[in-house]
Structure 1
Amino acid sequence: MASTVSSKVVLITGTSSGIGLAAAIAAARSGFTTVATLRDPLRADALRKAAEEAGVEIDVRRLDVTDAASVAECVAGVVADHGRLDAVVNNAGAGHVGTLENESVDEVRQVMEVNFFGVVQVAKAALPHLRATGGRLVTVTSVGGVIGQPFNEAYCAAKFAVEGFMESLAPVAASVGVSVSVVEPGPVASEFVANVGVDLDRSVEEAGPYAPALQAYVARTRAAFASAAQTPAEAAETVLQALTADRPAFRLQTSDAARAFNGVKLADLDGSAVQALTTSWLA
């Protein structure tokens, strides 16, 4: 017999702030037994406060997506304690701004480690349990997983990789009863500067011949986040849709703006429309 939402268990990664925190609250409000994970449990204060204000209970656990032992321990512990795992939301990740000539290959690898291999590691650990429940694997990617963006080579590469991996996995997972979806946010309030992990103003100063283009990109992107960004709660509504819809689409954008942006790429057979768009950001 199919289980009700109130008996289903969802594990969400990267819940200390932003979409992950908002998705954890939304899932708990909708009746899921919600396991909210984060790399450093000492950073769970905002999550616990939000849960208290929402009047919901959340199971907070440590999970570092870059640490295989941490992933295995967390997933096994959830199944041992709750008896099942019905859904996973891969949300943990980190922004990155830089360009190839000015950064090391190791920095690029680290971006891939967090944003791509972390997703793969969690998905691999969860899949046997999702098979057992006919569950769902939802991954928060980005419009940057569809359109490559200036000074985001490593970040977009990781998000492109996630999109390709999940698009390829989806029919295989469906053959054993597991639904796979990706959620593609555009700008989300407060995350651009806070989540890229660098001092952007200093980066401009140190960018050498790329400084004018980087300065234009930073100014344009800060303005976009200030004027058109969604709240994390708004973006989390689409994550909840992926968790609860009878037959969720494989690819879901979180806003009309994200749909329009991605639509440029999907109608651009020779790449000229995307290049014209993103080149204009550097003028």
Structure 2
Amino acid sequence: MASDRIVLITGTSSGIGLAAAVAAARAGFRVVATMRDTGRSGALLKAAEAAGVAGRVEVARLDVTDAPSVADCLAGLLDRHGRLDAVVNNAGAGRVGTVEQDGLGPVREAMEVNYFGVVEVTRAALPHLRATGGRVVTVTSVGGVVGQPFNEAYCAAKFAVEGFMESLAPVAATVGVAVSVVEPGAVASEFVASQGIDLPALLAAAGPYAPALDAYAARTRAAFGQAQTPEQAAEAVITALSADRPPFRLQTSDRARAFVATKLADLDGSAVQHLTAGWVA
């Protein structure tokens, strides 16, 4: 029964992670809602209280880039609950820029949070998920399927996550663990605001890339004007957690499905290049 199942969700202080934590609790799961800074748990706890599920949500510290933190969090969870039935890898960080100007630092940082953090949490959780026939659900992005201008570091990390999970899924299935990825498109959440993007400063420093960056920014503002809510995006996470036979890949909206479909049917890459070239023209 879902009411007996324990799910660990990373990155729950805001956005999809917060919405997924509340939705999972409402679906009957006991939720260990993790975040790097537990001082930011107020919004989650308030939302859980408003939904009537405060008793099913507990906050724990976890920094996905720190292996001892991951180990400590899992050890505490097992001490308290004795089992782990699912992990939702949601913690992540965005990056806007281009490699010629940014260098490798931001690329490495994006990989640490968005890729290596996911790998570490999944690796540490798998023995416990094998014991329960559990699930690994990872929130990636449509940017994990379609490369997007000025998102080189972010998309590279999300591509890596998708490749990792697509490769792991059949192996994990042999030991009873289901693996799914959830691909949101534009979501109206604090994730975007939290990136601290100073567009005027970026444009001033963009040099020959300034016209393309300005065009990209205008297109992105329009896209987020039609964004879905975190709660809507979290519905796909709950499907992956609850379905009898969850699919490997789930998009969170019709827009996301149409966008991803462009890539999955694009054998020579020309359709995607034509599409994204229009964003920077």
TM bucket, shorter chain: over 0.9
Match of 1:32 among 9, 25, 29: 29
Tell me, in whole angstroms, the C-alpha distance in 2 between the residues paired with 1:44 and 1:192. 15
SS in 2 for 1:10: strand
Aligned to 2:124: 125
Map of 1:67-146 to 2, 5 A cutoff? Answer: 67-146=66-145
Q: Does 1:13 align with 2:10?
A: yes
Match of 1:43 in 2: 40
Q: Which SS does the other structure have where 1:243 is aligned?
A: helix
Q: Distance in 2 between matches of 1:19 and 1:249?
A: 19
Q: Hey, what does 2:234 align to over in structure 1? A: 236
- Number of matched pairs: 279
Identity rate of aligned residues, in percent?
73
Counterparts in 2 of 1:135 and 1:81: CA distance versus 1, 3 Å? same
Give the TM-score normalised by the residue count of structure 2.
0.98
Q: CA deviation at 1:200?
A: 2.3
Instruction: State the 4+ residue runs in structure 1 displaced beyond 2 angstroms.
Output: 190-193, 195-198
SS of residue paired to 1:96: coil
Q: Provide the aligned C-alpha RMSD in A.
A: 0.9
Aligned to 2:260: 262
Q: Is the contact made by 1:89 and 1:138 (CA closer than 8 Å) also made in structure 2? A: yes
C-alpha separation between the residues in 1 aligned to 2:177 and 2:194? 31
CA–CA distance in structure 2, aligned partners of residues 195 and 96 of structure 1: 11
Q: By how many angstroms is 1:192 displaced?
A: 6.1
Counterpart for residue 212 of structure 1: 211
Contact 1:96 1:195 in 2 (8 A): no
The residue type paired with residue 39 of structure 1 is R
C-alpha distance in structure 2 between counterparts of 1:78 and 1:192, whole Å: 26
**Equivalent residue, structure 1, for 2:160:** 161
Alpha-carbon distance in structure 1 between the residues aligned to 2:99 and 2:249: 29
Residue 247 (structure 2) aligned to one of 242, 246, 249: 249
Segments of structure 2 that go 5 or more residues without pairing to the other structure are none
Unaligned runs of 5+ in 1: none
Q: CA deviation at 1:190?
A: 3.3
Residue aligned with 2:123, SS: helix
Asked if 2 retains the 8 angstrom alpha-carbon contact of 1:95 and 1:197, the reply is: no
